[in-house]
Amino acid sequence: MILLDKAVEVEKKFMELEKKLTDAYDTGNSNTIKKLARERSLLEEVYESAVHYQKLWKEMIDVDSILSQSDVDPEMKKMAQDEKTQLEKNIQEFETIFKFKLLPKDPLDLKNVLIEIRAGTGGEEAALFVNDLLKMYLKFAEKCKFKTEIISSNRTELGGFKEIIFSVEGKSVYSKFKFEGGVHRVQRVPRTEASGRIHTSASTVAVLPEPDEVDIGIDMNDLRIDVFRSQGPGGQSVNTTDSAVRVTHLPSGLVVSCQDEKSQLKNKNKALRVLRARLMELEEEKARKELDSTRKSMVGSGDRSERIRTYNFPQNRITDHRIGLTIYALEEILEGHLDKVIEPLIIADQNEKIGAVDSK
């Protein structure tokens, strides 16, 4: 009856969260409300399963009570026995579902993200590939009804990007994008290649869960803020005022620059968003390194130095190296149908976690 005890425990925890959330609304503490609402959202699905599991067992107890009575009509007893047989089957089937729901949830799954794409090896071709990845992610986000916003960009003369950072906001955004971090390799004939030879280039993707201010506090005394005139491709000035902002976090040495907005204040706020996310990434990386290496997920940790995927244009092929997935629908995926790759990754990750639980 360990699972039944767990179901009772989940229900109790959910009720306590509901009370705390009500109290937070009464006091008007917005930071506490956000934190508790996020916890509630993570637990709600498990809570519903816990309630259903308890309901099944209550029905079983009621049926057993009927069967234990000696003066029950034989026909009623037969109906009760049939119901018990069906309940046993239902409970056994639902236990598998409930075990899955009880798997530890990633508390970051509900967060919005900042996605940073940088050109790697391959020069201008790598920068053009950054643009392809950007379009793919923006189209996928649109299909998911997520909101996107460009935070910072560094264009090249041929229309690519040396680096671009954009935000994605919506329900459970991080859970959709968290396996995208790493090296993305492209194999194709570059625009600049006259002989028609296939080149291999690469770009790196970092997926940063965007923390709330309550998650990562920044002491303004730890910052050095410089302003300068924004520059476009080739170094030409694109603004006549010093609206670009460079923020240096002195304790960590992290530097963030934003120049896309004409407003100095907007650029500063965007830079602080990126800085907050990078500081959170440092904390997450530190926590990951403290774990035993044998516990590293097969699907990867989001390390941007890890090669995760190859996009082969001549063969219209995309290969995810972590799970050995190959799909001959590259053009379709680049048009935003990224779920064809993301869903198998999510399933592989879930199966790995279930296997780890069963082996204990």
**97 or 292: which carries more pLDDT confidence?**
97
Q: Please, what is the average pLDDT of the chain? A: 86
Give the model confidence (pLDDT) of 187-219 as tens digits. 999 876 767 788 999 999 999 998 876 677 788
> Which of 44-58, 276-290, 292-306 has the highest mean predicted lDDT (pLDDT)?
44-58
pTM of the model: 0.71
**pLDDT beyond 90 at 167:** yes
Buried b (16+ CB within 10 A) or exposed e, 243-264: bbbbbbbeeeeeebbbbbbeeb
- What is the predicted pLDDT for the residue at 321? 95
Band (pLDDT 50/70/90 cuts) for residue 37 is confident
> Which of 2-6, 107-111, 113-117, 241-245 has the highest mean predicted lDDT (pLDDT)?
113-117
- What is the predicted pLDDT for the residue at 294? 40
Q: What is the Cα–Cα distance from 3 to 272, expressed in whole angstroms?
A: 45
- What is the predicted pLDDT for the residue at 132? 96
| The two structure tokens encoding residue 36 | 């508790």
- What is the predicted pLDDT for the residue at 295? 44
Give the torsion sign (CA, 43, 37, 206, 215). Answer: negative
**pLDDT beyond 80 at 141:** yes
Q: Report the candidate in 86, 149, 158, 152 with the shortest Cα–Cα distance to residue 128.
A: 158
* Sheet hosting strand 161-169, strand order edge to edge: 147-155, 161-169, 113-119, 199-209, 182-188, 307-312, 317-320, 325-327
- What is the predicted pLDDT for the residue at 253? 92
